[in-house]
């Protein structure tokens, strides 16, 4: 996880659900940690409440892997926290993850999991 950024997006798969959500949220623009958490929670992703240590740990790892970039605040506004933005690699990885999930969803559909579920509603 603490590896140098690899050019191959597939090397980062599968993504942790939280990491995937972070990438999705950041596609709409850069945000602070709390902003990211609030946006994910509002989307009802069933990830539950997001707590700071876990989130910053993920963000740090994603920054190290080159999926996001972290902009530290200037010294005089130190209490505002870093702004995180998605990188091109992050974008590619999100696309690959979405494809991976789509493949899984198709497979699930082939097993009629989603039909059953929808039918029961």
Query: Minimum distance between the CB of residue 41 and other proteins, rounded to whole angstroms?
Result: 10
Query: Minimum distance between the CB of residue 37 and other proteins, rounded to whole angstroms?
Result: 7
Report the alpha-carbon distance of residue 18 to residue 63 in Å, rounded: 14
Q: Does residue 81 belong to the site contacting other proteins (CB under 8 A)?
A: yes
Which residues in 22-35 are b (16+ Cβ under 10 Å) and which e?
bbbbbeeebbebeb
Q: Point out which span in 16-24, 26-34, 86-94, 97-105 binds other proteins (CB under 8 A).
A: 26-34
Looking at the Cβ atoms of 52 and 88, the one nearer to other proteins is 52
Q: Does residue 52 belong to the site contacting other proteins (CB under 8 A)?
A: yes
Looking at the Cβ atoms of 23 and 37, the one nearer to other proteins is 37
Contacts of 80 (CB under 8 A, 6+ apart): 32, 73
Report the alpha-carbon distance of residue 7 to residue 14 in Å, rounded: 16
Q: Does residue 46 belong to the site contacting other proteins (CB under 8 A)?
A: no
Options 28, 44, 49, 76; binder of other proteins; rule CB under 8 A: 49
Asked if 69 and 84 touch (Cβ cutoff 8 Å), the reply is yes
Q: Which residues bind other proteins (CB under 8 A)?
A: 1-2, 32-34, 37, 49, 51-57, 60, 78-82
């Amino acid at each position: 996880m603490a590896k140098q950024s690899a050019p191959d997006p597939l090397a980062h798969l599968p993504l942790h659900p939280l990491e995937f959500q972070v990438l999705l949220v950041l596609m709409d623009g850069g945000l602070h940690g709390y902003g990211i958490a609030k946006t994910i929670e509002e989307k009802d992703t069933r990830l539950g409440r997001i707590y700071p240590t876990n989130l910053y740990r993920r963000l740090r790892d994603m920054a190290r892997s080159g999926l996001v970039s972290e902009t530290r605040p200037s010294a005089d506004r130190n209490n505002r926290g870093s702004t995180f933005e998605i990188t091109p690699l992050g974008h590619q990885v999100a696309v690959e993850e979405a494809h991976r999930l789509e493949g899984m969803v198709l497979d699930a559909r082939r097993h009629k999991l989603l039909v059953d579920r929808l039918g029961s509603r």
